[in-house]
Structure 1
Amino acid sequence: MDIKNPVESPVTFNLHRLEYLVAFAVTIGFILWHFTDINWFAAIGLFLYIDLLGYIPGAIAYRRSADGRIHKAYYVLYNSMHSLLSVAAVGLLWMWLIGPEWALLALPFHVFGDRGVFGNFLKPFGLPFEPEDTPLVHQLTALLKRRSATDGPVPLPYEEHPATIAAVGAHR
């Protein structure tokens, strides 16, 4: 994945998840280390607000939708609430208004857990709100796998794969 190709293969996706799993484990370590210092009422509230505002409304709309299509606002809500930038802003605002406290560990615990444990990253408008097999994503994944399936240098040129021409030939 790079600036010109913002797509991950299953391997790089899992490596990306692994980075968040490590951060999740570190967060758990801090939670256990400071377990008795945590204001659990505040921690639970900080953990829950992310999904109460960012996930639950979209999940309800998605389940009520006959065709799985929902308004983009639900994606924006999810992405806003699950952004490391917004949880950092909430944490900084909390520290400014209330003061620093270990309950704030609930914020990275939530986001790192979603990404590392569940594989839920920010949601693009072009995919279903809830995880679903998407044929186009499977086609792209298979194409990337074929382009990397060689003992020699990678990636193989597009022209060496007839399926590539059929799949993306019209878009070249």
Structure 2
Amino acid sequence: MDQLNSFESPTTTRLHRGEYLAGLGVSLVLFFTHIGEVRWLPAVLLFVYIDLIGYIPGAIAYRRSPDHRIHKAYYVLYNTMHSLITQGVVIGLWIWISGPEWALLVIPIHLCADRGVFGNFLKPFALPFEPVVNEDFARLSQGLFGKQASSSATAAPAVGSQR
């Protein structure tokens, strides 16, 4: 991937996810090292609010839509709530207003787990809200990267957001 070709090879995808796994590891070590100092109500709320606002509404809309086409607002909600910038601002405001605390580590834990463990990055409007193999991208990957790009999943036509 470069500034003119915004896609990744299977290898660079694994490396990219690996960077988030490293961030997850550091965050978890810090969190568990200070577990006795964690305020649990803020920790739980900070962990779940990202998906309560950013993922669950879109996931419900996607599953309820017969053709799986959903409004772009769901993508914007997901991308805003799962943005390192947005969550950095949340952490900064929290520290400015209430002071630093170990519970804030659940935010990078959430984001790094989404990206490193589950492979969930920001969602483009042109792809379905939930992961579906895009046959055009599968052909491109196969042509560029060969067997290493082969997927065990069956390619399905792309279903983007048109509303």
TM-score normalised to the size of structure 1? 0.83
Secondary structure of the corresponding residue to residue 6 of structure 1: coil
What code does the residue aligned with 1:51 have? D
Match of 1:73 in 2: 73
Mapping 1:20-169, distance limit 5 Å: 20-146=20-146
Q: Distance in 2 between matches of 1:59 and 1:128?
A: 10
Greater RCO, 1 or 2 (C-alpha within 8 Å, sep 6+): 2
Aligned length: 147
Task: State the 4+ residue runs in structure 1 displaced beyond 6 angstroms.
Answer: none
More displaced, 68-77 or 131-140? 131-140
Shift of residue 66, structure 1, vs aligned partner? 0.5
Secondary structure of the corresponding residue to residue 75 of structure 1: helix
Shift of residue 87, structure 1, vs aligned partner? 0.5
Larger radius of gyration between Structure 1 and Structure 2? 1
Q: Distance in 1 between matches of 2:101 and 2:73?
A: 32
Match of 1:10 in 2: 10
Q: Distance in 2 between matches of 1:77 and 1:111?
A: 15
TM-align CA RMSD: 1.1
Structure 1 residues 120-171: Cα deviation after superposition (integer angstroms, max 9, x where no partner): 000001111001121112111101114x9xxxxxxxxxxxxxxxxxxxxxxx
- Identity, in percent, stands at 56
Shift of residue 93, structure 1, vs aligned partner? 0.7
Secondary structure of the corresponding residue to residue 42 of structure 1: helix
Shift of residue 104, structure 1, vs aligned partner? 0.3
Q: Distance in 1 between matches of 2:100 and 2:81?
A: 21
Q: Distance in 2 between matches of 1:44 and 1:136?
A: 40
Secondary structure of the corresponding residue to residue 57 of structure 1: helix
Shift of residue 9, structure 1, vs aligned partner? 1.2
Q: Distance in 2 between matches of 1:4 and 1:84?
A: 23
Q: Distance in 1 between matches of 2:12 and 2:68?
A: 28
Q: Distance in 1 between matches of 2:104 and 2:139?
A: 41
